[in-house]
Amino acid sequence: MNLLSAAKVSFRSLRANKMRSALTMLGMIIGVAAVIVMVAIGAGANERISAQIASIGSNLLLVLPGSTTSGGLRSGFGGVPTLTMGDARAIGKELPSVSLASPSIRTSAPVVYGNQNWSTIVQGVGPEYLDMREWKTVSGRNFTAAELDAASKVALLGLTVSDTLFGSEDPVGKIVRIKRSPFTVVGVLERKGQSPQGQDQDDTVIMPITTLQKKLYASAHAGTVGVIMVQAVDGDSVKEAERQVVALLRQRHRIGPGQEDDFSVRNLSEMLALAESATRIMSLLLGGIASVSLVVGGIGIMNIMLVSVTERTREIGIRMAVGARERDILSQFLIEAVLLALTGGAVGIVLGGAGAVLISRFAGWSTVISPSAVVLAFGFSAAVGIFFGFYPARKASRLDPIEALRYE
């Protein structure tokens, strides 16, 4: 008997017991569908984090104010502003491993245009900030170094603010009021989406940091900044840039050997890569848990095939009596098991893809159906069919023909 004939016999046998075959395939269907959905959710999470990493910028360090001790009283992280505009300028100009540095101050303020108003985050930064964040304008321009020096009342709007205040109208050249002060809109920023912390990065207004310090931000510490964003020359220079920033700030802040820094330096690339790694591990864990159902489905196939061998013992004896060889019986039952597994796998792939699409649409989760995951799930279902079908097939092929014919 060739494989084609064995496949035809196997198919007729499965078709003769439609309900049992369908229930046997159910385990594989559920298993494959679960793997496809879980892998799609994990891949979607990885893609979302990769997009968030790209939205932050590349090769970035964040210098934050640290704790200080004054008069025996120790203040916590960020309790006292310890970073200055001079620190930012020195980092940008004096360190060979640093390409750009921008000071930043964040506050919240109401923005008004006509009869529309919106409370948003207002950021005072340097003109280098947009280049560091790889943030382009969809309309208008960035503010200039001359406008920074003059503390000009100019502003760039994030798309969320622009859409809320202006709708479809182009804001460039229009006057908005921020904390009752008039500002000219010189640009609208392209969409950035959510940050890794889930904040809307487009819900912001950006202006020269000197303007915020002198005309909006009532600070008792003139010239201080909230954070300093630093961009290394390239990816290989990030560690060296971090070391040079620490050395320079310790020198500028007159911090002696053994004394604690009054600032901290965070490597954004490392932090976000760690988040991406954690998400990838979680995706593998979800896929592994879902794969358990494939094994359960395989055990179901083995169970039904053993029952089938018992029920068809007399048939096997008759076939052996008329000349069927051991390998013919083995191939027939093995093909039956593989057909059950592959058919269940194919249906599971369709249901898993549909489930991933429905989850993305109704739950709002990002899902990505990977072709490699589909191929892997289908191949694994075939392997399960072979692995769990081999023992029943081998048992059927080794039956004694005389004993099999006597079986009632």
DSSP per residue over 176-242, as a string?
Answer: EEETTEEEEEEEEEPP--B-TTS-BTTSEEEEEHHHIIIII---SSTTEESEEEEEESSGGGHHHHH
Share of the chain above pLDDT 90, in %: 31
Instruction: For the beta carbon of residue 63, count every other beta carbon within 10 angstroms.
Output: 26
* CA nearest to 137, candidates 150, 155, 117, 149: 155
**pLDDT tens digits, one per residue of 371-382:** 877 887 778 778
Instruction: Give me the residue label for tokens 């820094």.
Output: 261
What CA–CA distance (Å, rounded) separates 170 from 138? Answer: 10
Of 209, 160, 205, residue with least CA distance to 179: 205
Quote the CA–CA distance of 257 and 97 in Å, as a whole number: 24
User: Is the per-residue pLDDT at 408 higher than 80?
Assistant: no
What are the tens digits of pLDDT across the range 96-120? 999 999 999 998 999 999 899 999 9
The model's pTM is 0.62
Residue 289 CB coordination number (10 Å): 12
What is the C-alpha to C-alpha distance for residues 42 and 107, in angstroms, rounded to an integer?
35
CA-nearest of 215, 223, 210, 266 to 81 is 223
| Among candidate residues 124, 336, 123, the one with its CA nearest the CA of residue 209 | 124
pLDDT at 299 > cutoff 50: yes
Give 84's DSSP letter.
Answer: E
Top-confidence residue, 240 or 39? 240
What is the C-alpha to C-alpha distance for residues 381 and 31, in angstroms, rounded to an integer?
9
> How much of the chain, in percent, has pLDDT values that exceed 70?
86
Please state the rounded mean pLDDT for residues 171-196. Answer: 90
Q: Give the best-scoring range by mean pLDDT among 34-38, 238-242, 293-297, 334-338.
A: 238-242
pLDDT surpasses 60 at 191: yes
